[in-house]
Structure 1
Amino acid sequence: MRLFLLPISTRRSLIYCEKLHDKAPADRSIYDKVTIKANETWVAWEKDEKAIGNWKKKVTFYGNQALKRIPYEEWGLKTIPALTQKRKQDIIDGKIKYEVMFPGLYLPKERVPGILEKLAKDRQNMHRSKLMWSVIIMPFTAPFMLIPVIPNLPFFYVLYRAWSHWKALTGSQHLEFLLKHNLPKPAPSPILDEVYTAGLMYPTRAISRAAPNPTREQAKSVSQVVHQQTNNETEDVMVLQRWNGKLIAEQFKLPEMEVEIERAVEQVEKSIKTKEKLLEEKLEQEKATGKNGERAKDALPDHILERIHEQAEHVAEEAGKNKEGADKPRDKASS
């Protein structure tokens, strides 16, 4: 099983567990079936425009805003499966291999065990306490069942938060059990070093895709600039861009990872610095491999920049066509 320890900034990291292969429908437990059904219902509500007062879309909109406020640490722990007796025995017997992948240039290997231990232990009491309170509160949401048409949303929200805290708690317990058995094994990833460096060297995903892969020397230069920006480890510096989550997810063929990274980056950005300071640091990182103060993108050959420009124009043109197609039914209905 692969775990990913992804530094969002020089002091904060996201843990992500590679999702196990989906079970065949016949092998799914009741828990699996309920979870899948809940996800399908939520997606259907997001698209439903026929409900009275458009209440389903409104519920999902405000619900998604509330979900964004759940700490990224909780989301990360929830990706780690519960520690079943069979899995526990397999770990003791050495039948399952666990490794934790991380960008070695942006996260020193010697810090990995400490970060994992902190993620595993620090939040257990909090999740246990909030799980208990969520269960206690549930009966008090019963009167909302009397509201016609609309489901008992307070009950389902409290139920979801109870489930979420339970998932994060079991995930942290799984991680703690691994650490007690000297697992997972740290595995510095050159691929992650490369993707992180590209995200810091270039200002956009499109340029990062079109540009040549960063060399090892460039990666070291950028990581040194990041270290200098921490002012001897006294300041927190962003090392991951929101748009870079998609590129990391694509490299490891884990599409679900993208949203976890984007959420974590957004939360950390809001908490550590002003937008002006972040832009200043990002510009300095982009200049790390340039000459005479130029940014990495300015050193790209003209044919690459032209290709990026053409791709941007194509995307804008497609977006315009889609908007025009979406507007036509409304125009026709109003005429």
Structure 2
Amino acid sequence: MRLFLIPISSRRAFVYCRPPQLNRKGVIDKITAKAAGTWSKWERADKGWQKRLVVWGHSILQRIPYEEWALKSIPPLSARRQIEEVRGKSEPIPVAFPGNAIEGDKVLEVLRTLGTERQELHRRKMWWYLFLMPITTPIALIPLVPNIPFFYAAYRGWSHWRAWSGSKHLIHLLDNDLLKPYSSPELVKFYAGRLRDSLDKGEKQTEIRRHSEEPEENETLYLDATDGQELGKVLDAPELVIEVERAVVQIKSKLGKRGGGVDGPKNEL
């Protein structure tokens, strides 16, 4: 397992986990793979309710905060893993970050903020969607109509559970001194040109704001949505392409609203 701390603006970043490749898959992984296959099949449909559902689904997925997606990348902490990590059987987990964008002595503080600020929100949302699931179950009795409300509640409940579990695992690693931050030369090179304007102004990312706070007056974007492609190649993590794109679009929307631009996501799902 390896962590990347990715700054998106002078005030915001996300942590992404690249888990080790495991041949053995759990039940949840198999269910997720099956659902992904079904969704991919619906995406290829030319018309019909499957196609309409896919279009609606993509719009919903884009509204899910990038912080939630990032925390979901961190695997849940199993009892066995917790015992091994506490007893010192696990090697410290490297955390790559760009030393020219984030001060090294602030990295652990930033990670703790990212791990704690949304933890309670995900816990509450998880229970809320679990409560909705049995309420929406009777819709399945309607012939030829897929129970979309049930599947939506199930997905959002699972998503919040994964983000909550990821945040707890991150805090567990911090509490037990199991993270080893290091300034990645590849990330430093990647950010060098993109930071030039911000660094000329004397700006340096020293704290991460809560997602619900208004953008700072001097907050500037470091990345563009298209930068995800290059970053994914640099870190050999193709999954980062969509993560960067989503984060940039959402942060740009918040900055745009501050200046009267196009509105972004309205609320937390």
For this structure pair, what is the TM-score category when the shorter chain's length is used for normalisation? 0.7 to 0.9
Partner of 1:313: none
Instruction: Summarize deviations over 1:58-111 as a string: whole Å, max 9, x none.
Output: 101110110111111110000000101221122123323201111111111122
Counterpart for residue 19 of structure 2: 19
1:71 aligns with 2:68: no
TM superposition shift of 1:273: 3.7
> How far apart are 1:149 and its partner, in Å?
2.3
Q: 1:247–1:148: structure 2 CA closer, same or farther, 3 Å change rule?
A: same
Aligned match of 2:209: none
Distance of aligned partners of 1:183 and 1:97 in 2 relative to their CA distance in 1, 3 Å threshold: closer
Alignment of 1:247-326 (within 5 A): 247-273=230-256
Q: Distance in 1 between matches of 2:128 and 2:100?
A: 42
Q: Matched residue of 1:16: which SS?
A: strand
**2:49 aligns to what?**
55
Question: Does residue 122 of the first structure (1) align with residue 117 of the second (2)?
Answer: yes
Which residue number in structure 2 is paired with residue 32 of structure 1? 29
Shift of 1:150: 3.1
Deviation for aligned residue 1:228 = 4.9
Aligned to 2:7: 7
Distance in 1 (alpha carbons) for counterparts of 2:112 and 2:178: 11
Look at both structures and tell me which one has the larger radius of gyration over its CA atoms: 1
Matched, 1:88 2:82: yes
Q: Which residue of 2 aligns with 1:143?
A: 138
Counterpart pick for 1:162 among 157, 161, 167: 157
Q: Given the superposition, is the C-alpha separation of residues 121 and 228 from structure 1 closer, same or farther in structure 2, using an over 3 Å criterion?
A: closer
Alpha-carbon separation, structure 2, partners of 1:226 and 1:274: 23
Q: Normalising by the residue count of structure 2, what TM-score does the alignment of the two structures yield?
A: 0.86
Cα distance in 2 for residues equivalent to 1:251 and 1:266: 21
TM-score (norm: length of structure 1): 0.70
Return 5+ residue gaps in structure 1 as ranges: 201-218, 279-335
Q: Which of these residues, 162, 165, 176, is aligned with residue 171 of structure 2?
A: 176
The one-letter code matched in structure 1 to 2:38 is T
* Structure 2 counterpart of 1:329: none
Conserved 8 A contact 1:241-1:265: yes
For residues 260 and 134 of structure 1, the distance between their equivalents in structure 2, rounded to whole angstroms, comes to 24
Conserved? CA contact 1:101–1:186, under 8 Å: yes
User: Does residue 1:132 correspond to 2:142, yes or no?
Assistant: no
1:226 touches 1:239 (CA, 8 Å); kept in 2? Answer: no
* 3-state DSSP of counterpart to 1:15: strand
Between the two structures, name the one with larger relative contact order (CA 8 Å, sep ≥ 6).
Answer: 2
Alignment-derived partner of residue 225 in structure 1: 200
Task: Kindly provide the CA deviation profile for residues 9-43 of structure 1, in whole angstroms up to 9, marking residues without a partner as x.
Answer: 111101100132142xxx32222211110111111
Distance in 1 (CA, whole Å) between partners of 2:257 and 2:204 is 15
Alignment partners' CA distance in 2, 1:259 and 1:161 = 19
Hey, what's the Cα distance between the residues in 2 that align with 1:132 and 1:5? 29
Deviates more, 1:257-266 or 1:109-118: 109-118
- Separation in 1, partners of 2:27, 2:224: 38
Q: What amino acid sits opposite 1:6 in the alignment?
A: I
- Residues 1:14 and 1:228: Cα distance change in structure 2 (over 3 Å): closer
Taking the aligned partners of 1:226 and 1:260, their CA distance within structure 2 comes to: 27
Counterpart position of 1:103? 98
| SS of the residue 1:227 aligns to | coil
Amino acid at match of 1:272: L
Structure 2 residue runs without a partner (length 5+):
206-215, 262-269
Q: Does the 8 A contact of 1:226 with 1:237 survive in 2?
A: no
Give the superposed CA RMSD. Answer: 2.3
